[in-house]
A = this chain, B = another copy of it.
């Protein structure tokens, strides 16, 4: 352990001013306080000379604000969340905030973290998980004064602002596209629904599109799997093992599962898109480089992160209690895994 820490007192002594002046100069407090240019220069020079760095912890304690937001990431291995986090971080940085990412795959941990979140370390939370138990804990935290935003939450009207995309619409978009391409036996890979409080919106969209297309729903065509690449691989194998006639197209819960499906299909010698079309959900960057390239319903991931941060920021600054619920558009990204046929997208 080296030399004692340099504090604002040291800088004050070095510059021949009071410690208050140092604080005022360095934190650029707006207020009515005025410091002469000469003094400011001296302080800045002294701080520079001493290599002074303000103690962030002391600042936080005094200000009762840490300028840090916690992002609870329920699936750190999913590039989609990495993209959302990146968007939030970019936006936070501009506002002088930091985003602390807590990788929290399971529910107990999430509840735990939330319950500790009033420890002054964080001014707010962005919650990626949609679990009801977790949401309940979030409402507690809210009551204790935390600023919070949930992602994709669909529960009953809550006090929690939400950033979402219309996944039911997305499921419909994907399935309708497949129907448009001429498919009538369309399989669906669904997640195991760890957060199954609300039965899959994507699946609801799939069902509605089938209905719109006058196609009878065959329960044999839906298989539930783990939300991961390996899970998609396994689910696809399961689907194929269900016997003939097999589906000519598959709508996967997300790109991760779609990539797994692509792998299973390749391993089994089933050609994509010739023998079977595959469509994913999320539109992660990786999808542009799979073999074949993945067609997907893309979410504006970075934008989701950005808006989420902006919402907590506004909450923190008492701005606009108006827009507490942001819905962002989805769009169809057509690549190779469904064969070729461009159609209009949108919403």
Chain A interface residues (CB < 8 Å from chain B): 1-3, 5, 51, 53-58, 60-61, 66, 76-77, 79, 82, 85-86, 89, 98, 100-103, 115-121, 140, 143-145, 229-230, 233, 259-260, 262-263, 266, 285-286, 289-293
Contact = CB atoms under 8 A, between A and B. Distances in A.
A145 B5 contact: yes
B120 A58 contact: yes
B229 A289 contact: yes
Given A229-B286, A291-B290, A103 B86 contact: yes
Contacts of A291: 262-263, 266, 290-291
Contacts of A230: 289
A228 B123 CA distance: 35
B144 A2 contact: yes
A200 to B, nearest CB: 23
In the complex, the count of this chain's copies comes to 2
A119 B266 contact: no
15 contacts: A2-B145, A53-B117, A53-B119, A56-B121, A57-B57, A57-B66, A77-B82, A98-B100, A101-B101, A229-B285, A229-B289, A262-B291, A263-B290, A266-B291, A290-B291
Contacts of A259: 289
B61 A89 contact: no
Contacts of A144: 2-3, 5, 51, 53
A292 to B, nearest CB: 8
A289 B116 CA distance: 38
Contact of A89 (B82, B103, B289): B103
Contacts of A286: 229, 286
Contacts of A233: 289
Given A56-B121, A58-B120, A61-B61, 15 more contacts: A2-B144, A5-B118, A5-B145, A53-B115, A57-B119, A57-B120, A77-B82, A77-B86, A79-B79, A89-B103, A229-B289, A230-B289, A263-B289, A263-B291, A290-B290
Given A2-B145, A145-B1, A291-B266, A53 B101 contact: no
A1 B116 CA distance: 18
A51 B141 CA distance: 10
Given A61-B61, A289-B233, A116 B53 contact: yes
A274 B55 CA distance: 60
A82 B76 contact: yes
Contacts of A118: 5, 53
Contact of A56 (B1, B3, B120): B120
A79 to B, nearest CB: 8
Nearest to A83: B77
A185 B285 CA distance: 32
Given A5-B144, A120-B55, A289-B263, A100 B103 contact: no
B82 A143 contact: no
A117 B119 CA distance: 21
A1 to B, nearest CB: 6
